[in-house]
């Protein structure tokens, strides 16, 4: 994935229920910053020159993270999302990362079933917390 893919990727995200976007981190500038920091581990899937799937992945030097994985509904259940995950994990592995984590909204039933089916486990021993440093405007999908 490169910043040149942004418009198509963003359109895919805003048309995918359950994505949980915000106007700052998911802006062109926010995604460009992410891709500069993680240049080898985010991918798009294309069909006939159109982006039909995306995964963003990166790491902090010790743990990998997956963000904003989506596939257009017409292309689901064909192994595209699994292929994107495999590419991201392989890229993280090449950078010496041994574990990968992700956050999925509870209401994202389709996404949670997918992650469970490919071996990601639910951690009930953790409490996920965050604090906004700046006000973030949520974009509901």
pLDDT digits (tens, 9 = 90+) for 69-84: 999 999 999 999 999 9
- CATH (domain of 58): 3.40.630.30
Give the domain extent around 72.
3-136
58 lies in a domain?
Answer: yes
115 lies in a domain?
Answer: yes
Share of the chain above pLDDT 70, in %: 99
47 lies in a domain?
Answer: yes
141 lies in a domain?
Answer: no
pTM score, two decimals? 0.92
The count of structural domains within the chain is: 1
Q: Could you please report the per-residue DSSP string of 56-93?
A: EEEESSS-EEEEEEEE-GGGTTSSHHHHHHHHHHHHHH
pLDDT exceeds 80 at position 136: no
41 lies in a domain?
Answer: yes
Any idea which residue has 């989506």 for tokens? Answer: 70
27 lies in a domain?
Answer: yes
What is residue 109's DSSP assignment? H
């Amino acid at each position: 994935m490169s910043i040149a893919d942004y418009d198509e990727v963003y359109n895919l995200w805003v048309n995918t229920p359950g994505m949980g976007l915000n106007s700052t981190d998911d802006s062109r500038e926010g995604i460009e910053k992410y891709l500069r920091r993680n240049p080898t581990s985010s991918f798009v899937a294309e069909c006939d020159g159109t982006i039909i799937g995306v995964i963003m992945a990166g790491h902090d030097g010790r743990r990998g993270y997956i963000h904003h994985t989506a596939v257009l509904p017409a292309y689901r259940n064909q192994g595209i999302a699994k292929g994107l995950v495999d590419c991201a994990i392989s890229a993280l592995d090449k950078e010496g990362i041994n574990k990968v984590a992700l956050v999925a909204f509870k209401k994202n039933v389709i996404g949670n079933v997918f992650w469970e089916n490919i071996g990601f486990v639910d951690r009930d021993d953790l409490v996920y917390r965050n604090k906004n440093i700046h006000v973030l405007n949520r974009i509901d999908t």
